[in-house]
Amino acid sequence: MLKKTLLLPLLASLLLIIGIVGIANRDFSPVVHSSLTNLATLKTMARDAVPYEVAMSNGKPSLIEFYADWCQTCQSLASTLEQLHQEYGESVNFTMLNIDDPQWQPQIQTYQVTGVPHLTFLRANHEIADTLIGKVPGFVIEDTLKEFRI
What's the predicted TM-score (pTM) here? 0.76
pLDDT value, residue 34: 74
Q: What is the pLDDT of residue 132?
A: 97
Sheet (strand 128-133) strand order:
93-98, 62-67, 118-122, 128-133
pLDDT at site 20: 66
Longest dimension (CA), the chain: 88
The whole-number pLDDT of residue 91 equals 94
pLDDT along the chain (150 residues), means of 10: 63 66 51 74 95 97 97 95 95 97 98 97 95 96 84
Domain boundaries, the chain: 29-148
What pLDDT is stored for residue 29 in this prediction?
41
Active site residues: 71, 74
Q: Which has the closest alpha carbon to 119: 130, 103, 105? A: 130
pLDDT at 5: 66
Please report the pLDDT score of residue 148 as a whole number.
Answer: 79
CATH class of 29-148: alpha beta
